[in-house]
Amino acid sequence: MAKRIEQMNASEMAKFSKERRESMFQESTILAVQKSICHCDIGTANRLLKVLPFVTRRSGARQALIAFFEKWGKLYFDNASRELKYSKKRNDLIWSAEYEAQVKAEPWDKQIGQVQRKNQPGVTINAYEEFRKLLIRLHRLSNNPTNTMLHEALVRKVQSEVYLYGKANNLADEEKNGQTLFDQSVQNQTMNASKYAK
């Protein structure tokens, strides 16, 4: 009987093409799910986690494989031991021809992109603060006599709009700092600093 991929060492795996290794790995993931359901076996799944880098180095592959086992098998990932463990909570799972077809229809590597997107936290961007930082940077650059600033009208327009927006919305930073780049006096100084040459 031929060895399954999770039973091979690196040199044995190297004899196979990349496509063949991926195919063998896919077959073994289905077997690992079946064993977890029918025999409470976690060994196959954990061995697959160990050989995964020899099959693919795609970013997010490990997370996708773990997610696949947690979804389809009686398995969960234990962060303390960094291994898959048997889940007693998944008593609803029964291995059948229909269930096997469902597992085969959704290969583990199909989830790589989905897991990556799910795990990426949303970012909150404070546009007002970003514009303030940009204008402060431009102000500093304009104070250097060796620099030449183009598009003075654009800078003035953006500066004016950000200043009015901050004032109209009573943003805490404007009130706390007393005098910032967007206070009228500093705004006039910046505009009159005539480093905005065309």
Q: Which domain holds residue 59?
A: 5-119
Q: What is the pLDDT of residues 47-81, one digit of tens each?
A: 999 988 888 888 888 889 999 999 999 999 988 88
Whether 198 is covered by a domain: the verdict is no
The two structure tokens encoding residue 46:
């954990």
Q: Is the pLDDT of residue 118 over 80?
A: no
Whether 197 is covered by a domain: the verdict is no
Q: Are residues 181 and 95 in the same domain?
A: no
Q: For residues 12-40, give the mean pLDDT.
A: 88
Segment (H or E) for 78: strand 75-78
Q: Are 126 and 134 in contact (CB under 8 A)?
A: no
Q: Is the pLDDT of residue 32 over 80?
A: yes
Q: Is the pLDDT of residue 176 over 60?
A: no
Q: Of 119, 144, 167, at which residue does a domain stop?
A: 119
Check residue 33 and give its pLDDT.
92
How far is it, in rounded angstroms, from Cα 184 to Cα 193? 14
Whether 188 is covered by a domain: the verdict is yes
How far is it, in rounded angstroms, from Cα 123 to Cα 21? 38
Domains of the chain: total: 2
Q: What is the pLDDT of residues 131-171, one digit of tens each?
A: 888 888 888 888 888 888 888 888 888 888 888 887 777 76
* pLDDT > 70 fraction of the chain, expressed in percent and rounded: 79
